[in-house]
Structure 1
Amino acid sequence: MGAHVANILDIIKLPDPVLREKAVAVPEVTDGIRNLLDDMAVTMYDAPGIGLAAPQINISERLIVMDCGKDETPELYKMINPEIIETSEDKSILEEGCLSIPDQTAEVTRPATVTVRYTDIDGDTQMLTAEGLLAACVQHEIDHLNGVLFIDHISRLKRDMIIRRVMKEMRQSSSKS
C-alpha cells in the first residue's frame, strides 16, 4: 500500500453540535488513525492554526494535533487519547482563538503548567509537561474532546458578544453564496 497522501479537511464551525459532544476514546492505533492525524496536521497548518481536535473536523474521537513551535522549528504533536493528569496552581492568561470560531479571540485564564499523558502514533504512552503557549494549546484542544470551547472560560457577556458576531458573519457569508 502506498504512502497516505494527506488531505485538507473541512473545519466545523460554531454552532455545529459536534463541537459540544464528548469525544470517544480511540481503542487502538491503526493506519486509519495515523492517516487521520496526518490529515488533521495538514488541515491545521493550512488554516493556519496551532492546534486542531478531531471534533473540529466532525469526528468525535479523542485525537489532537498541535504545533506551537516557531516557524523555523516546527514541533508537531500528534496525541491519541490525551488526558491532563496534573495542573499547576499558577495560572496564566493568554489570548486564545479557535479555528471553529473564526476571527474571534479572548483572554483565557488556565493553569500555567500541565502534564499530559497520551498515546503516540506508535501506540506508546508518552508524557508531556507543557508551559506557556503549549500548555494553553493542549488544554484548549483537550477541552474540544470534552465538548468545551474557549468561550466557555470567559464571562457570559464576552461569550454572548462573540457568538453574536459569529452568527452575524455566518448569515452574511451565507447570503453572499
Structure 2
Amino acid sequence: MAVRSIIRYPNAALATATEPVSRFDESLRQLAHDLIDTMRAAPGIGITAPHIGILQRLTVIETDPQAGPRSFVNPEILWQSADSTRHSEGSVSMPGIAEEVERPARVRVRFQTLEGKTHEEEAAGLMAVCLQHEIDQLDGIFWIRRLSRLKRERAIKRFEKLD
C-alpha cells in the first residue's frame, strides 16, 4: 500500500475514457489499496485510477469512515431518478476548488467487486453524488464540465491562482 502522486487538472488523462478492467488479480487489489491510501492522504472521499494516471475503470469511495472504503470495478449507471439534488463537489486533481453541481438524486449502478463478482445497487444522498461524479471521471468527464461555462471558467481561474 502506498500513497501515489495525483495528477493535476488539466492533465489529458482526466479527459480520457478508461478501459474496462478484465483481470481480477493481486495487482488490481494492490491498485485499490493504493487508491484508498492516496484518497485519504489527499484528503478526499472518492478517487479513480485516472487521478493517478492509470486509465482503468476502478474507483474507491469512502462516504462513511465507520463503514470504510468501497471499491467499484467497471461501474456503470443503469438508471437515474427524475428528481435532482445539489451538492458541493470538487476533485483531488483540483484541490481548493469546489462548486455546487446538480445531479439526479438517486441512481442504480452495476459494478464488479475486486474479485470480479457483479452487483447492482441503488444509491441516494452523498453516495449517489459520489458514484455519479466518479463514473463521470471514468468516462473522461471531469467534474467542472457539469458547471455552466461561466462557473467553469471562474473555477479554472481560481485554481490557476492557487497553483
Q: Aligned to 2:87, what secondary structure does the other structure show? A: strand
* Aligned equivalents of 1:17, 1:122: Cα separation in 2: 30
Return the offset for 1:115.
Answer: 0.8
Aligned residue in 2 for 1:94: 87
Superposition TM-score, scaled by structure 2 size: 0.97
Q: 1:111 aligns with which of 104, 114, 119?
A: 104
Say if 2:49 and 2:56, in contact at 8 Å, map to a contact too.
yes
Q: Aligned to 1:27, what secondary structure does the other structure show? A: coil
* Aligned equivalents of 1:61, 1:75: Cα separation in 2: 22
Per-residue CA deviation, residues 66-102 of structure 1 (Å, 9 max, x unaligned), is 0101x4x133110110001111111011111111111
Aligned residue in 1 for 2:68: 75
Larger Rg: 1
Aligned residue in 2 for 1:131: 124
Specify the code of the residue in structure 2 equivalent to 1:25. P
Query: What is the count of residue pairs matched by the alignment?
Result: 163
Per-residue CA deviation, residues 101-148 of structure 1 (Å, 9 max, x unaligned), is 111111100010001110101210012211011100010001111111
Q: 2:154 aligns with which of 158, 161, 167?
A: 161
Say if 2:25 and 2:115, in contact at 8 Å, map to a contact too.
no
Q: 1:50 aligns with which of 45, 52, 63?
A: 45
* Aligned equivalents of 1:89, 1:148: Cα separation in 2: 21
Per-residue CA deviation, residues 16-55 of structure 1 (Å, 9 max, x unaligned), is 1110001111112111011100100111111110000110
* Aligned equivalents of 2:42, 2:143: Cα separation in 1: 18
Q: Aligned to 1:75, what secondary structure does the other structure show? A: coil
Q: Aligned to 1:133, what secondary structure does the other structure show? A: helix
Return the offset for 1:168.
Answer: 2.4
Aligned residue in 2 for 1:175: none
Unaligned regions of 5+ residues in structure 1, if any?
A: 1-5, 171-177
Unaligned regions of 5+ residues in structure 2, if any?
A: none
Aligned residue in 2 for 1:31: 26
What is the aligned-residue RMSD (CA, Å)? Answer: 0.9
Q: 2:142 aligns with which of 149, 161, 169?
A: 149
Specify the code of the residue in structure 2 equivalent to 1:53. T
4+ runs deviating over 3 angstroms: none
Q: Aligned to 2:47, what secondary structure does the other structure show? A: strand
* Aligned equivalents of 1:163, 1:88: Cα separation in 2: 30
